[in-house]
Amino acid sequence: MKKSDFTTIIVIAVVILGFAFIPGAWDWFLKATTKHGLLMSFFKFAILGTFGEMLSLRIKEGVYYKKGFGLLPKLLIWGVLGVVIASAMTIFKTGTVVLLDKGFHLNGKAAFWFIGNLSWGKFFVALCVSVLMNTLFAPVFMTFHKITDIHIAETGGTLKGFFSKPLEIQKTMAEKINWNIQYGFVFKKTIPLFWYPAHTITFLLPGTLQVLFAAALGVALGVILSIKK
């Protein structure tokens, strides 16, 4: 273990213990999440998503940070994507319940199951939400995230560099993304084997914890991608 590993562990422990033992800290977090959902989503994903990439770098290269990593641009991109993901979660939760109730003539059972206590019915609806969201939304999100990663690397990892030229979406998709990995592993394997079950669990949690858990999954995915590479 390096000194940076101990520092990381201590910081994580302090944050966890802070929420556990500081009076009102957890209640404040829940209230802020309820009142300012999208803003909190920005910060949750900015912090946890970027930490996931730092952990990935630690596994691959032995350091949490290096020149050109792009800490500030990654914080910004993860924050913006967090708002998009939180919005998508709301849209797919609402839309899937309506689809099941009206499209499959469940006559309100899906909505009843989904807002009720843990049951096989609630599990079924959560699984449907997860499958639809990760099948229809995740590939677009993952591809855009990959494009921004490439752009950050090519512009020096600074905010000024990031905004110095527009995203070359068409060129990046055609020439710079390794589709053997992007499709063959990220889409084909992580979506059904990781994201389907992981987001099923997410949608079984209370609403105030769903975005936080979804953001935390980004840390786990960083580890998985590092092992693959």
Examine the pLDDT at 125 and tell me if it is beyond 80: yes
Task: Return all residues near 164 (Cβ < 8 A) that are at least 6 apart.
Answer: 155
Of the pLDDT bands very low, low, confident and very high (cuts 50, 70, 90), residue 107 is confident
pLDDT at 1 over 80: no
Supply angle C-alpha 151, 216, 121, rounded to 5: 120
Q: What percent of the chain has pLDDT over 70?
A: 97
Task: Assess whether pLDDT exceeds 80 at residue 77.
Answer: yes
Residue 59 pLDDT class (50, 70, 90 cuts): confident
Angle between helices 71-98 and 207-228 (to 10 degrees): 120
For 182-208, what is the mean pLDDT?
93
Confidence of residue 41 (pLDDT cuts 50, 70, 90): very high
pLDDT of 224 strictly over 80: no
Q: Any alpha helices (H) in the chain, and if so which ranges? A: 3-21, 25-35, 37-61, 71-98, 109-115, 120-136, 138-154, 159-162, 169-171, 179-181, 196-202, 207-228
The pLDDT-based confidence of 226 (bands split at 50, 70, 90) is low
Q: Which residue has the higher pLDDT, 39 or 219?
A: 39
Task: For residues 216 and 45, give the distance between their C-alpha atoms in angstroms, rounded to a whole number.
Answer: 8
- 111-137: average pLDDT: 95
Supply the pLDDT for residue 229: 55
Q: Which residue has the higher pLDDT, 224 or 7?
A: 7
- For residue 39, give both structure tokens: 């803003």
Q: Is the pLDDT of residue 2 over 90?
A: no
Most confident of 16-20, 23-27, 29-33, 135-139: 135-139
How many percent of the chain have pLDDT more than 90?
68
Contact 122, 204 (CB under 8 A): yes
Predicted pLDDT of residue 84: 95
Residue 225 has pLDDT above 70, yes or no: no
Tokens encoding 80: 């913006």
- The structure's pTM equals 0.90
Average pLDDT over all residues of the chain: 91
pLDDT at 202 over 90: yes
Q: Is the pLDDT of residue 82 over 90?
A: yes
